[in-house]
Amino acid sequence: MESLPCNGCKGMCCGPVPITKDELKKIKKKIKSMPKKTRLDLKHQRRYFGTCIFYDEINDRCGIHSVRPSICRAFGYYNNLICFRNPKLASRRNYTTNSHPIGILSVDFTWSDFI
């Protein structure tokens, strides 16, 4: 994220977010390890429609950054995942993966799946 100009974007690029089975497990573990207040503060934030349920609008960052899905880690660096504020950073070919997503955060998986 340090090379991306994310500050001030308000999560506009954070969605839709497909996740794999392994990513789901890591996210569940991360959410359960959070202090209850932190978890509830993150859960009850208002977000733009389609924005990931884990985008922390108050702090303008990913609420699960250390376990964010692979597509989030790739964002901004691939031609099909361009950051509109720093398009030159996308110097790699299109992002592809062999992992099959089991669903989309905010659509197939909501906060009720994590608490």
Place of tokens 């009720």: 112
- pLDDT confidence of residue 2: 61
pLDDT tens for 36-62 read 999 999 999 988 888 899 999 999 899
Q: Is the pLDDT of residue 1 over 80?
A: no
pLDDT tens for 25-34 read 999 999 999 9
Mean pLDDT of the chain: 91
- pLDDT confidence of residue 7: 77
Residues 95/101/47/86 CA torsion (nearest 10 deg):
-10
Beta bridge mates, 55? 62
Supply angle C-alpha 31, 61, 39, rounded to 5. 25
